[in-house]
Amino acid sequence: MRVVTWNLWWRFGAWADRQKAILAVLRELRPDVVGLQEVWAADDGENLAGWLARELGLHWAWAPSPAPERWQRRIGDGSVGIGTAVLSRWPVVERAVLRLPAPDEVDDGRLAFHVRLDAPGHQVPFCTVHLNSGAGASEVRRAQVASLVDFVAAHRYGTGFPAVVTGDFNARPESPEVRPLRTARLHDAWLHAAPGLPSGTWGPGDPDGPGELSARLDHVYVGPPGPGGLGRVRAVRRAGDRPVDGVRPSDHAAVVADLDDGGAAPAAGTPGAATAPGTPGW
Is 188 part of any domain? Answer: yes
Rounded Cα distance, 26 and 5, in Å: 11
This prediction has a pTM of: 0.91
Q: Which CATH number fits the domain that encloses residue 75?
A: 3.60.10.10
Query: Quick one: which of 180, 166, 96, 105 has its CA closest to 131?
Result: 166
pLDDT (0 to 100) of residue 267: 40
Domain membership of residue 48 (yes or no) is: yes
32-77 pLDDT, tens digit per residue, is 999 999 999 999 899 999 999 999 999 999 999 999 999 999 999 9
Average pLDDT over residues 100-117: 96
Residue 76 CB contacts under 8 Å (≥ 6 apart), including other chains: none
Task: Measure the CA–CA gap between 265 and 249, rounded to whole angstroms.
Answer: 30
The number of domains in the chain is 1
In a domain, 111, yes or no: yes
The burial of 230, by beta-carbon neighbours within 10 Å (0-12 exposed, 13-18 middle, 19 or more buried), is given as: buried
Q: Is 280 a domain residue?
A: no
> Is residue 267 included in any domain, yes or no?
no
Host domain of residue 248: 2-259
Please list, in sequence order, all residues whose beta carbon lies within 8 angstroms of the beta carbon of residue 180, skipping any fewer than 6 positions away. Answer: 142, 145, 146, 149
CA distances to 18, 27, 245 from 61, rounded to whole Å, are 21, 18, 29
Q: Would 265 be classed as within a structural domain?
A: no
